[in-house]
Amino acid sequence: MIPFGTRLREAMDTRGPLCVGIDPHASLLADWGLNDDIAGLERFTRITVEALADRVAMLKPQSAFFERFGSRGVAVLEKAVEEARAAGTLVLMDAKRGDIGSTMAAYAATYLDPASPLFSDAVTVSPYLGFGSLRPALDLAAKSGSGVFVLALTSNPEGAEVQRSTAADGRPLAQLMLDHMAAENADASPMGSVGAVVGATLGDAGVNLDINGPLLAPGIGAQGATPADLPGVFGSAVRNVVPSVSRGVLRHGPDVSALREAAARYADEVRAAIPQA
Ligand SMILES: O=C(O)c1cc(=O)[nH]c(=O)n1[C@@H]1O[C@H](COP(=O)(O)O)[C@@H](O)[C@H]1O
């Protein structure tokens, strides 16, 4: 398969870089007039995929909101991944996995092996068990043409006490992780398949973000950041930014056109903030 980084660059260039998260919060199900049960989850997910999969660069289902319904929730997630990909969008599974390497291999098989029912274009992972623990995911992604988004500086204020600390070799910890990502992407063109997650809420990120890979920027909308904040956070790396919004779009449902209009408004704001995007 064509490498994920190449496919994402193409999607960003043709559809614009916006990613919309599928986060079926109990409160959103209620706002949409749906029950907090498997039928409500199924309907919420189907409407969101129908509204957006033919127009945004990437959809990002948040696995926790499906897992909380057990195996039937995961079945809804499997179907959503399949339908979204069939409609032409890339799917980033937001699972934020991270474990010792031998277990990481099983997580990698879950999301990055084309034979798996949950196979996605990319998955989010945490490097804070050591970047090397991610090796099975990085290797399988390279083999299957999928991608891995690695947490660097998360959008939540609590992240700083870990991520802004200093690594054993004296580098800022987040910079150490970003340098590992840059090494993975070194020879890729137009960009690599290992992305970084950097919150849009951070102000100046204060690290070197030139990883030759995509930069997922969550935190826009409900967490208070706006597309206008992106150049200040990402500086010269802003061309590789994939701004991500969940509740900021989803709160406009269940009307399909209202969801589309909300995503289009964010896309316009992104275009205004990042003219080269
Ligand atoms: O990896 C992520 O997507 C992520 C990283 C991060 O630093 N912050 C963050 O909010 N997220 C996810 O992005 C989504 C944000 O949702 P909203 O705040 O509703 O837009 C949630 O699914 C979070 O789990």
* Residue at 179 is within a domain: no
Q: What is the number of other CB atoms lying within 10 angstroms of the CB of residue 9?
A: 20
The answer to whether residue 242 sits within a structural domain is yes
Atom of ligand 1 nearest to the CA of 96: 1
Residue 176 belongs to some domain of the structure = no
Answer yes or no: is pLDDT of 276 > 90. no
Paired tokens of 251: 């709160």
Ligand 1 closest atom vs CA 247? 19
Q: Closest Cα to atom 20, ligand 1: which residue?
A: 246
Instruction: Note the pLDDT tens digit of each residue in 14-60.
Output: 999 999 999 999 999 999 999 999 999 999 999 999 999 999 999 99
For 58-77, the DSSP string reads EEEEBTHHHHTTTHHHHHHH
Q: Is the pLDDT of residue 277 over 90?
A: no
* 102 Cα–ligand 1 center, Å: 27
Share of residues in the chain with pLDDT > 70 (%): 100
pTM of the model: 0.98
Rounded average pLDDT over 211-240: 97
Residue-level pLDDT at 107: 98
Specify if 185 maps to a domain: no
16: containing domain: 4-168+190-202+211-226+237-273
Is 177 part of a structural domain of the chain? no
Cβ atoms of 168 and 135 within 8 Å: the answer is: no
Ligand 1 atom nearest to 222, measured from its CA? 18
pLDDT digit string (tens) for 134-143?
999 999 999 9
Number of structural domains in the chain:
1
Query: Considering the domain boundaries, does residue 69 fall inside one?
Result: yes
Residue 10's CATH number: 3.20.20.70
Distance 218 CA to ligand 1 centre (A): 5
- In this structure, are residues 127 and 180 in contact, taking their beta carbons and an 8 Å threshold? yes
Active site residue 143: no
Helix axes 256-273, 38-52, angle to 10 degrees: 50
> Do the Cβ atoms of 195 and 215 come closer than 8 Å?
yes
Tokens matching residue 31: 């706002």
What ipTM was assigned to the predicted interfaces of this complex? 0.99
DSSP-derived pairing of the beta strands 241-245 and 215-217 = parallel
C-alpha span between 20 and 57 (Å, rounded): 9
Confidence band, pLDDT 50/70/90 cuts, at residue 75:
very high
State the average pLDDT for the chain: 97
Q: How far is the CA of 228 from the centre of ligand 1 (A)?
A: 18
89 domain-assigned: yes
CA 222 to CA 21: how far, in whole Å? 12
CB atoms inside a 10 Å sphere around CB 26 = 14
Closest-CA residue to 175 (of 209, 137, 201) = 209
Question: What ligand 1 atom has the least distance to the C-alpha of 23?
Answer: 22
Residues in the ligand 1 pocket, defined by CB under 6 Å: 21, 23, 62, 94, 124, 154-155, 197, 199, 218-219, 221-223, 244-248
Decide if 85 is inside a domain: yes
Mean pLDDT of 156-166: 97
Pocket residue to mutate for ligand 1, from 60, 155, 229, most atoms within 8 A of Cβ:
155
pLDDT of residue 217: 98
